[in-house]
Amino acid sequence: MNLALQSKGLPVFGRWPTMTPPTRRQVLQLAGAVGVAGGVALATGAAPANAATASRPGRDFVPADQHLHLLRRATYGPTPASFDYVKAKGITTWLDQQLSPGTIDDSTFQRQLHNKFPWLSWSIPDVIRRVPEGGRWPFMTELSMATISRATWSKRQLFEVMCEFWSNHLHITCPSDKVWFARHDYDATVIRKHALGTFEDMLIASAKHPAMLVYLNNAESSRDNPNENYGREVLELHTVGIDGGYTEKEMFDSALIMTGFTLRPDTQLYAYDEYAHYTGQVSVLGFDRANTKQVEGEQLGIDYLRHLARHPATARHLSRKLWVRFISDTPDDTFVDELAQVYLNNGTAIEPMLRYLFLSDAFAASVGQKMRRPYEDVIATLRLLGYRQESGDRTDGLRTLHWMVTELGQAPHAWGLPDGYPDEGASWLSAGSTLNRWNRHLSLASHWGAEELPMPPLRSLLPAQLPRNYGDMVDDLARRLVFRTIEDRHKKVILSFLDRRASDPFDRRDAEALYRMGPAVALILDSPYHGVR
């Protein structure tokens, strides 16, 4: 499991020397048995090279239950409590609640979050005044920590998933020296404010926000020295997409339209500077204006953004991204067009699109067609294992989690390019990524990866009537962790790895027996049974 430790001659499972570290052959045997090859095929859409050893599609690893399917996609991972809740309420009622997050009582979590990160409500001038130069990078790191906390413990799960989706779509890299003073406010006043509102309002808010203005250099763009960065990305990334049909001349006109959107030098807040605005004929994708008055340039820019938000190519671009996030890596053009029409018919409103998507036959049929990315994998693992927040204002455990997902290559907001993290499974496939995930599963299951965070004892994963033998133990753990029993051939490999037979008695008084639960939990989490989104 942890080849890095094994290569140094250290005992992989830590404190008890009675367990022999796994050999490379054992690790590879386990990987093949529980379907890493199948996960690769699922993520890439390609057939495995060796069909004789190929795993079955991802849908064979996860139950077809639609309540569970919805929780796998619309939240950061099901828990027994959330599964029971959605079954009791029904899919439509649960979806209604999640699409109206203000109706969900999340006050306990919100108080905990405020105790740890009171600066979340600070204004941009407050941050500039109160955060010293040496504290800028830690300040941005804490935004990542707050995001991890929300994803793991907030009851408003679909809202948090959509905040991540839009933050990734209208992406601003953080940490970054340019945005240290404003990225937290962008998260609050652009992404979180509009995540379930209208895309049109969110796009305009993003264009006027100091973080976006400095990130894509529009704050320094003027009639005499236009900067093309924002004018290009608002077309290529934010709205119509790279294949939206615009020309290089239209892209340059896009930049000219947005000149004058800048910052006040004294407060670093948004301001429109009419003297920096270019005047003259502009034309972009049917938006044609004489643009003769500098003083009207701000309204021109807002009208232009509204035009882009309501463009049919934008509707298709966003619908395609929602398909990839929630259904599969291979969009269906017919469904994308249907979803785009929902977007256009509802004035760019986001909530009707999500309702249409989640209640569609296409979504229902997509069980097993998406793989979790590293960040989602860690959050889902924390939720399954029952990790809790530290008390009071302590944040050591969240800081550990931040560095954990950083090591996995997917810390919140940290993607270095303006296009945001990729969501196709093939983008996250590598031997190193797989081993890192396995190591994180073992450390979290063993409670020495983020030991600052309270975690229930592993025996709490078992039913009140403890298993009689190791075979029953693996079955009980699988039902708790992946909501089904795993196939016999996979269970045999796990038992072999634990050096136990299915019939060997499981004695709760035996410290080593309880200790073996850690590796057993990790092995189940290493498999596509857990890795499928």
pLDDT of residue 40: 37
Peptide bond into 22 cis (omega under 30): no
Provide mean pLDDT across the span 443-455: 94
Question: Given pLDDT bands bounded at 50, 70 and 90, which one contains residue 509?
Answer: confident
Orientation angle between helical segments 136-153 and 396-407, nearest 10 degrees: 90
pLDDT of 18 strictly over 60: no
Beta bridge partners of 282: 289
pLDDT exceeds 90 at position 3: no
Q: Which of 66-80, 199-213, 271-285, 511-525 is least confident?
A: 511-525
Give, in degrees to the nearest 5, the angle at Cα 457 between 451 and 463.
150
Two structure tokens written together for 59 = 């849908």
Spatial distance between the Cα atoms of 108 and 517, rounded to a whole number of angstroms: 32
Residue pointed to by tokens 């679909």:
158
Band of residue 58 on the pLDDT scale cut at 50, 70, 90: confident
CB of 235 closer than 8 Å to CB of 254: yes
Q: What is the pLDDT of residue 4?
A: 32
**pLDDT exceeds 90 at position 108:** yes
| pLDDT confidence tier of residue 511, bands split at 50, 70 and 90 | confident
Per DSSP, 525 falls in state H
What are all long-range contacts of 290-297, with beta carbons under 8 Å and residues at least 24 apart?
291/257, 294/260, 297/259, 297/260, 297/272
Question: Can you tell me which residue has the tokens 């569970």?
Answer: 68
If we measure between CA atoms, which residue out of 333, 389, 327 comes closest to residue 360? 327
Place of tokens 């529980």: 34
The SS3 call for residue 296 is: helix
* pLDDT for the residue 7: 30
Question: Cα–Cα distance between 513 and 450 in angstroms, integer?
Answer: 23
- Does an H or E element contain 71, and which? helix 66-74
Q: How far apart are CA 278 and CA 367, in angstroms?
A: 51
Query: How high is the pLDDT of residue 294?
Result: 96
Q: Pairing relation of β-strands 282-284 and 287-289?
A: antiparallel
pLDDT of the residue at 425: 93
User: Which whole number is the average pLDDT over 332-340?
Assistant: 98
Band of pLDDT at residue 153, cut at 50, 70 and 90: very high
- Helices 312-326 and 157-169, packing angle to 10 deg: 130
- The model's pLDDT over 20-43, given as tens digits with 9 standing for 90+, comes to 444 434 444 554 444 443 343 334
- CA distance readout (Å), 471 to 513, 526, 530: 13, 18, 19
Which residues contact residue 288 at a Cβ distance below 8 angstroms, ignoring those fewer than 6 apart?
A: 281, 282
Reported confidence tier of residue 60, pLDDT bands at 50, 70, 90: confident
Pair 438, 2: CB distance under 8 Å: yes
Tell me how far the alpha carbon of residue 395 is from its chain's centroid. Answer: 21
Mean pLDDT of 322-338: 98
Closest CA to 200 of 81, 51, 343, 10: 343
Q: How many CB atoms lie within 10 A of CB 112?
A: 18
- Residue 289 pairs in a beta bridge with 282
Summarize the confidence of residues 44-62 as an average pLDDT: 48
Query: How far from 129 is each of 123, 126, 189, CA to CA, in Å?
Result: 10, 5, 20
**101 pLDDT higher than 80:** yes
Q: What angle do CA 309, 313, 318 make, to 5 degrees?
A: 70
The pLDDT value given to residue 120 = 93
Percent of the chain with pLDDT over 70: 89
- Give ∠ CA 354-359-360 in degrees, rounded to 5: 100
| Of 216-230, 408-422, 456-470, the least confident | 456-470
pLDDT at 274 over 80: yes
Predicted confidence at residue 30, as pLDDT, reads 52
The answer to whether 212 and 172 have CB atoms below 8 angstroms apart is: yes
Residues 457-504: tens digit of each pLDDT: 999 999 999 899 999 999 999 999 999 999 999 999 999 988 899 999
Q: What percent of the chain has pLDDT over 90?
A: 84
Report the pLDDT value the prediction gives residue 45, as an integer from 0 to 100: 37
Higher pLDDT residue, 48 or 532? Answer: 532
Note the pLDDT of residue 122.
96
What integer is the mean pLDDT of 45-54? 34
Residue 284: enclosing H or E segment and its boundaries? strand 282-284
Residues 315-336, mean pLDDT to the nearest whole number: 98
For residue 105, pLDDT beyond 90? yes
Q: What is the pLDDT at residue 57?
A: 52
Residue with the larger pLDDT of the pair 308 and 449: 308
pLDDT at residue 1 tops 80: no
